[in-house]
Amino acid sequence: MNKYLIFIAILAFGACKSPEARYPVTQKSGSHISESIAKNQALLEKEMQLIEAVINQDSTREYQSSQDGFWYTYNKKSDDTTNTITPEFGDIVEFDYSISTLNDEAIYAEGEKATRTYAVDQEKLFSGLRQGLKLMKEGETVTFLFPSYKAFGYYGDKNKIGTNWPIKTKVTLNDIKEKEEIQNQE
């Protein structure tokens, strides 16, 4: 009987051992990250050269650089000095847009995309357009030049826009319903 008690005691103490961490057999040096950074910097530089070429070829318009990393020009600017409202978080905007390559080859032509209603910063929309809408006033039409990281990036739109495509987007902001106005209607 003593043999069994000793055997059970040994098993009990042996089972109480805490698990040990398993370490990887090989360790990466981080060179993949460095290569990825270099590749993305080269891609961005190439896209910036393409965008600069578009801007230089279009001498009839004045392009502005946004602090968010894209360029834009007004096709139709609001002359109404009392119209100072731009979309903010929670506002509902209605807009039309078209998307083309930087060489003006239509990807989604005007009218191909239905008029879009969008709750600012509360719905999914590619980052460049989301930021660009915030620069616009009701009734304005703006052409945006987006590098791929501000457009559809690595994945494209899984339809007509491929991997890492810089794009040109023409947007007309039809209506802004401010958050307060929406809350008062409810």
- Position of tokens 């899984």? 158
Per-residue model confidence (pLDDT) at position 78: 86
150 CA to centre of own chain: 5
Helix residue spans in 58-147 (DSSP H)? 127-133
**pLDDT, tens only, 125-157:** 999 999 999 999 999 999 999 999 999 998 888
What's the pTM? Answer: 0.79
**pLDDT, tens only, 35-84:** 888 999 999 999 999 999 999 999 899 999 999 999 999 999 988 777 78
Provide, rounded to the nearest whole percent, the portion of the chain with pLDDT above 70: 84
Provide, rounded to the nearest whole percent, the portion of the chain with pLDDT above 90: 60
Counting other chains too, the contacts that 47-55 makes at CB distance below 8 Å and 24 or more residues apart are 47/147, 47/148, 47/164, 47/166, 48/147, 50/102, 50/166, 51/102, 51/145, 51/147, 51/166, 54/102, 54/145, 54/168, 55/145
Q: What domains can you pick out in the chain, each with its CATH number? A: 63-185 (3.10.50.40)
